[in-house]
Amino acid sequence: FVFLEGNPSGTAEEMVALVFEPTYPYWDPIQAGFEDLAANPGWRYTDPGIETLGIELVEVSGGNAVLRVADQRGEQVISNADGSTVKTYTGWEAKVTTITLRRGPDSKWRYADLEPSQPITAVELSSMVPVVWIGREA
What are 33-87's pLDDT values in tens digits?
Answer: 999 999 999 999 999 999 999 999 999 999 999 999 999 999 999 999 999 999 9
| pLDDT exceeds cutoff 60 at 138 | no
Rg (CA), the chain: 16
Amino acid occupying residue 41: P
Query: Per-residue pLDDT averaged across 20-45, rounded?
Result: 95
Mean pLDDT, rounded, of the chain: 95
pLDDT band at 136 (very low <50, low <70, confident <90, very high): confident
- The pLDDT assigned to 34 comes to 96
pTM, two decimal places:
0.89
C-alpha to C-alpha distance for 65 and 58, rounded to whole angstroms: 8
Q: Do the Cβ atoms of 131 and 54 come closer than 8 Å? A: yes
| pLDDT exceeds cutoff 80 at 111 | yes
